Structure 1
Amino acid sequence: METLDKDQYASAHAQLQPRGLAWSRNPNGVLGKLYKAFSRSYASVHASLLLLARELDPRSSSQLLDDWERFAGLPDECSLIQGTESERRAAVHAKITATGGASASYFIQLAATLGYPGATVTEFPVARFGRSHFGDRFHSRKWRNVWQLNLPGQGNTTARFGDRFGTRFQQSGNTVLECRVVKLKPAHTQVIFHYGA
């Protein structure tokens, strides 16, 4: 919706006034000047309402973005410390609209939104009498609640000669994704991240 200027508001007032000799339609008359005076504040209020309507959606917010982040609890331990305004908007929208889930499809969709389309989930079946077949991989009962998120691309960085002492031999390259998955996974499960799948 476009904002109206003061002249458009003044002409709308003039068109809505009653007809008759007492109601002059002269824009330079007393009523015309009164309508122009009122129309300045109407145009200002209209522009403010349009701005407020845009700020009510976190995907288009700019002036109230800090308030939206505070409402969503951002930045948290899983988000970037400083991002661009569009990244911050996307993070707020993703956090507010996240419904959660314990299914493999939910975590595949989460990986896709965080930059890993084509991810898959591997579940490790536990060997049971009557259900296992000869030649199947044997997993003990400890593997009952373990699943693996297979992500395309390189995600791990290995330590090199000349790195500082105490550097881990292998570090994950996507701590945001791993933090989100660990935070959203069912509490009784363990997740393994496999890059380059």
Structure 2
Amino acid sequence: MRHESLLAMLLPPVSYAHGPALRVELAAEGRALDDTMPSLGRAGGGITPFAAGEMLADWERVCGITPPADAPYQQRLQLVLAKLTETGGLSIPYFIRLAASMGAQIDINEPQPFRAGTNRAGDTVWTADIIWVWQVVVQGSAGSSSFRFLAGQSAAGERLLTFGDPVIEAVFNNLKPAHTFVYFAYQ
């Protein structure tokens, strides 16, 4: 049944439902409701990010995420999920647990400047500002740090395969202390 008929049935039976102005109004409102019905399922899917589809951009906006321009849909979804589940922290164990929750095993190295009395011949000589740098070593094969194009989970125009782990990189760069620099090494 069309919405125009349903709206007319809401009026009292002896009303002015058959007036020409009201019929035009009911037809316009009914047509608008008929046109809106197909998008109802998409709007219902946007309640959670898991089935958000084209509404994932709204989740990114709410979470304050700006994904890379060429980011595949799966990567964007992982960024939203990581943002929703983060609890906060600045310790090395926090970042290791965070990476583990995203399915990656990492090690974090903090290079230290060369200090007389502590270091010895053969140790790396770093600049004094190296204390503001930390390295994240992502363990595993390149396959575990890749996004393959999957029908139903990817969008048209995306790359067929993306290497690295841009999700971890984006999350860590978002959460790291602002005065530090983090760089990533993949093994």
What's the TM-score once normalised by structure 1's chain length?
0.47
Could you say which structure has the higher helix fraction? 2
Higher relative contact order (CA 8 A, sep 6+): 2
Larger radius of gyration: 1
